[in-house]
Amino acid sequence: VVLRRAAFVLEGETAVRAAGTMMHPNLLAAYLLVCVPVLFALGLGSNRPWVRWPSLLAGLAGLGGLIATQSRTPIALFAGQMLVIGVFLFARGRIKPKWLIGAGSIVILIGVAAATPFADKIMKRITGNWRESVEFRTGLNQKAFELFEKNQLLGIGPCHFTQKMIKFKNTYAKLY
């Protein structure tokens, strides 16, 4: 993302979203959503420095990747997961209440500061017309189900969905 390479850019958008080796940023975000909270729980809950610090550093790197995907729902789910982890660790006596409140306040402050430059875009997404997005995704999902029905055992191979979609509709050819 920093080098503006190997990332996902929609036509007409200036934002570069991290996709890694996956075809869409949301796929990378879902993967990170499973892995990153575990690293933070390990880092925050461990008494051993050789476990705590590498886990926290890897968790921060994963969080950076999650944020770079710019996938709203996974980022919101991550915030919820971290709240649950914080409450669980507090209930188990692994972290102190002052630390939980202080860390939570800092995270909220950083989140608001990071979202402020995108406030107009965020409001436009929340209040805008969702019909186009739903119709577009419904078409993609229908094609994905058709491909699954034809190739249930072995699938169509990694990243071949894009090639199939380009042949399917001209709209997708423009997008991809």
156 φψ region: left (φ > 0), alpha (ψ -120 to 50), beta (else):
alpha
Q: Going along the chain, which residue ranges are E strands?
A: 7-8, 17-18
Q: Which helix (H) or strand (E) holds 69?
A: helix 49-69
pTM of full prediction above 0.95:
no
pLDDT (0 to 100) of residue 38 = 93
pLDDT at position 36 is 93
At residue 34, the pLDDT reads 92
> Is 128 in a helix, a strand, or coil?
coil
What's phi and psi for 3, nearest 5 deg? -90, 0
Q: Which residues pair with 7 in a beta bridge?
A: 18
- DSSP structure string for 40-51: HHHHHH-S-HHH
What's residue 142's pLDDT? Answer: 82
Instruction: Give the integer Cα–Cα distance in Å for 151 and 108.
Output: 45
Q: For residue range 1-22, what is the model confidence (pLDDT) as tens digits? A: 666 665 555 555 556 777 777 7
Residue 53's pLDDT is: 93
User: In the prediction, which pLDDT does 64 show?
Assistant: 87
At 159 the pLDDT is 62
Q: What is the pLDDT of residue 173?
A: 63
- Check residue 10 and give its pLDDT: 56
The pLDDT of residue 130: 75
Q: Residue 23 is encoded by which pair of tokens? A: 């075809």
Q: In the chain, which residues have pLDDT < 70?
A: 1-15, 23, 157-163, 166, 168-176
pLDDT at 139: 77
* Distance between CA atoms of residues 1 and 16, nearest Å: 6
Q: What is the pLDDT of residue 33?
A: 92
